[in-house]
Amino acid sequence: MNSNVQSLKAFLGRADRIALVEVAATKGSTPREAGAFMLVSASAIFGTIGGGQLEYMAIDKARQMLGGGTRYPADETRIEVDEVCATLDVPLGPEIGQCCGGRVEVLIRLVDGSLEQQLIANAQSEEAHRPHVYIFGGGHVGHALAASLALLPIHVVVVETRSEALEGMPETVETRLTPMPEAVVREAPAGSAFAILTHDHALDFLIAAEALKRDDTAYVGMIGSKTKKATFRSWFLKSAEGNEAEFSRLISPIGGNAVKDKRPPVIAALAAAEIMTTLVSHAPEAPGSASAEKAMAG
């Protein structure tokens, strides 16, 4: 399974000289928060500080420090430079073709061995603490949902009882083949999200019941109709020893019903947004902010 850490290491290993560009401070409306960062080499970039003219200016200055590029003309941009470090204080106004209205301080440093190891350690820590999303079912919607979630800063696990259903999953997605997928729910870390959409309604019910009995989940969603949800409720209360408070936490159908489109990619897009919104609202801080602040330390 490919990971952000592997991608970071690969980028760091491809160039002899790299600059770290970080958002050191912000005021007012800005494209990214303090702590956002990117890496710049002579021919490539890794990450982003928000795009637009601000990012172009930062890339240009970074490449000056790396030994190439041309100076960016910006009358209201204060640049303080030494051999290995530069600070840009940039107003996000019409002078640079942006209308955010805020102000950003960007710190640019050349990456040495110590900073490289710090960046890798921070990325490893962030990856280890990413929220887990478990997709139960590798059918059409399961594949589409895995593809949508694979783009996000979360750890995605697709659980299946059929080996062929796990073929063709995105390389950043973990897959698990098991005859008892409901057991995976018990082993999941606190704060996990569960999207339940197997090929078997009875199996859906078992998995959903396990997830709802946990009081530390961020999201429990099950694909289906109003009839399926009503049938599950009856079974859950009468046969699975569930209660109304637990049942009330079930999201079904996943992705909501505001959009009347049952094509798998559409369901997946709506469900991915729903899951990510829930994860962010349950997070103690914005995802990635802690690691980004660590990257700025020192």
Q: Are 100 and 34 within one domain?
A: yes
Nearest in space to 197 (alpha carbons), one of 251, 131, 246: 251
* Residue 291 within any structural domain of the chain: no
Cα–Cα distance between 291 and 298 in angstroms, integer?
13
| CATH number for position 173 | 3.40.50.720
Kindly report which listed range (64-73, 101-110, 129-138, 234-243) carries the lowest average pLDDT score.
64-73
| pLDDT value of position 93 | 80
pLDDT band at 18 (very low <50, low <70, confident <90, very high): very high
More confident residue, 121 or 258: 121
* Residue 116 within any structural domain of the chain: yes
- pLDDT tens digits, 154-181: 999 999 999 999 999 999 999 999 999 9
- Domain boundary, last residue among 125, 140, 155: 125
Q: Are 134 and 267 within one domain?
A: yes
pLDDT band at 285 (very low <50, low <70, confident <90, very high): low
Q: Are 53 and 151 within one domain?
A: no
Cα–Cα distance between 296 and 97 in angstroms, integer?
27
Res 279 pLDDT > 60: yes
- pLDDT tens digits, 25-76: 999 999 999 999 999 999 999 999 997 889 999 999 999 999 854 444 555 5
> What would the two tokens of residue 225 be?
């109709």
Q: Are 71 and 94 within one domain?
A: yes
Q: Are 156 and 99 within one domain?
A: no
Using a pLDDT cut of 90, give the percent of the chain over it: 78
DSSP character string of 30-98? -SS-TT-EEEE-SS-EEE-S--HHHHHHHHHHHHHHHT-------TT-EEEE-SSEEEEEEE-SGGGT-
Mean pLDDT on 114-142:
96
Helix (H) or strand (E) holding 46: strand 45-47
Q: Are 254 and 138 within one domain?
A: yes
Helix (H) or strand (E) holding 107: strand 103-110
Contact 221, 196 (CB under 8 A): yes
Q: Helices H, strands E: what count in the chain?
A: 10, 12
Q: Are 137 and 244 within one domain?
A: yes
Q: Are 12 and 139 within one domain?
A: no
Per the listing, tokens 């049952």 go with 262
Res 117 pLDDT > 70: yes
* Residue 106 within any structural domain of the chain: yes
Mean pLDDT on 212-225:
97
Res 283 pLDDT > 80: no
- Domain boundary, last residue among 92, 125, 158: 125
* Residue 169 within any structural domain of the chain: yes
| pLDDT value of position 94 | 78
pLDDT band at 296 (very low <50, low <70, confident <90, very high): very low
| pLDDT value of position 92 | 85
Alpha helices per DSSP H over the chain: 4-14, 52-66, 113-128, 140-149, 181-187, 201-212, 226-238, 244-247, 264-282, 289-296
Domains in the chain, number: 2
Res 288 pLDDT > 50: no
| pLDDT value of position 82 | 53
| pLDDT value of position 101 | 78
| pLDDT value of position 76 | 54
Q: Return all residues near 83 (Cβ < 8 A) that are at least 6 apart.
A: none
Q: Are 104 and 29 within one domain?
A: yes
- pLDDT tens digits, 74-103: 555 555 545 579 999 988 887 777 777 789
247: domain range? 130-282
| pLDDT value of position 4 | 87
Q: Are 200 and 63 within one domain?
A: no
Q: Would you give the DSSP letter of residue 164?
A: G
Cα–Cα distance between 77 and 69 in angstroms, integer?
17
